[in-house]
Amino acid sequence: MELLLQFLSNTGYYLVDYRNLIMICVGSVFVYLAISKQYEPLLLLPIGFGVLVGNIPFFKGFGIGIYEPNSVLHYLYFGVTTGVYPSIVFLGLGAMTDFSSLLAMPRLMLLGAAAQMGIYTTLLSALALGFTAPEASSIGIIGGADGPTSIFLTAKLAPHLIGPIAIAAYSYMALIPIIQPPIMRLLTTKEERCIHMPEIRQVSRIERLLFPVAGLILCCFLASASIPLLGPFFFGNLLKESGVVDRLANTARTAIIDTATIFLGFTVGASTQADVFLTPKSIGIFFLGAVAFSIATASGVLFAKIMNLFLKQKINPLLGAAGVSAVPGSAREVHLVGLKADPSNYLLMHAMACNSSGVIGSAVCAGILWSFNVV
């Protein structure tokens, strides 16, 4: 009888805390959104299930939890805390990305840079709310709308905030269809949304081969701390464009990135253990994440409008919203909002150019912020 009672006192039913139940509800919502609404299922499903796993109450000291040394989850989480998974994801991302549209219209790269202003505005807001500089930098990077980059920088600067920042970054990426269109419509007129972009010229193979090398050198010479992200990213792209290592390129954009995404999502979800995750700081991070994302979208759109003051060939300002690096969600939304304004207005290829520029921009920003906090 005593053995039975002891066993029962070690079960989740006995150890459960209301905070675990809250997090289990959050995880269930993520799983629901991923499966039923298909909101970023590749991210939300592993994270959502990870949240469920991380919040099953357990008897501490058994080496079960993600924060307990020598537990299986702890070893898997190692890829997050060291920044290994984000680098691998970037390798696959590079092998997937086609830079042709960006190479055909290089001016669109400026929109990717402009959308990063959300990062710095949020950095200031976080500092004003009392966060330390490394914490504020990690929160600000949510404005880049790039999950792996956010996780990478947070792992380096504020590892204790990985859970809330990763969840905030991925949640807002999943909520792009809800967050971005109202901002786009608010900041543009119907005429602006109807601006047609010129047809994209053919880009030669040599240009596509030269770009990853030039991009790596220029970006990493400027912000060398972004090497762990941009190195694999441009390498993956060169694998793809070289055409001589199709097997490697194919593995990078399928098996490798998929494996990293599974472990990244699952362990980030599992890191949201209620006692670590449910703190006032997390609420502040969620609030600031929304601010960051909205400002990033707005600054891209507004910068496109400013560019139009000087350009003969006007740019559709909606494209600015795709300057955040949520690939391809924000490009898709820009395309859909453009189509709603004018059913013959196809912006997808141009929006993808801004999107890929945003990926580079947010990785450069991560490198810059890391450097600032180390110096």
Partner 1 sequence: MYGIAAITAKNGWAMALAGALIVMTGLSVLALVISQLHKLAQLIENRRTAPAQPDTPPPAEKTILSFNIEEIKTRYGLMAQQLGDSFELTRLYHLARDSGFPHVHLSIRSLRETGQLVPLGDGMFSWQK
* Least Cβ distance, residue 184 to partner 1 (angstroms): 22
Could you give the string, one character per residue 222-261, with x where binding to partner 1 holds by CB under 8 A and - elsewhere? xx--------------------------------------
- How many residues at the interface with partner 1, by CB under 8 A? 46
Q: Is 309 in the site for partner 1 (CB under 8 A)?
A: no
Amino acid at 138: S
Residue whose C-alpha is closest to residue 188's, from 351, 312, 334: 334
Question: Which of 10, 11, 38, 132 touches partner 1 by CB under 8 A?
Answer: 132
CB 195 within 8 A of CB 336: no
Binder of partner 1 out of 12, 63, 130, 182 (CB under 8 A):
130
Instruction: Name which position in 117, 256, 274, 318 contacts partner 1 (CB under 8 A).
Output: 117
Binding residue for partner 1 (CB under 8 A) from 34, 51, 66, 123?
A: 123
Buried b (16+ CB within 10 A) or exposed e, 22-58: ebbebbeebbebbeeeebbbebbbbbbbbbbbbbebb
φ and ψ at residue 129, rounded to 5 degrees? -85, 0
Dist. CA 309–CA 267, nearest whole Å: 47
Which of the residues 66 through 105 are near partner 1 (CB under 8 A)? 102-103
**Of 88, 157, 101, 73, which Cα lies nearest the Cα of 354?**
101
Find, among 138, 97, 69, 73, the residue nearest to 360 by Cα. Answer: 97
Judged by CB under 8 A, does residue 112 bind partner 1?
yes
Would you state the structure tokens that stand for residue 79, as one six-digit string? 């890829």
Residue 93 corresponds to which amino acid? L
We find the least distance from the C-beta atom of residue 167 to partner 1, in angstroms, to be 24
Q: Considering only residues 128, 186, 244, 309, which one is a binding residue for partner 1 as defined by CB under 8 A?
A: 128
Residues that bind partner 1 (CB under 8 A): 102-103, 106-107, 109-110, 112-114, 116-117, 119-121, 123-124, 127-130, 132-133, 136-137, 201-204, 206-207, 210-211, 214-215, 218-219, 222-223, 357, 360-361, 364-365, 368-369, 372
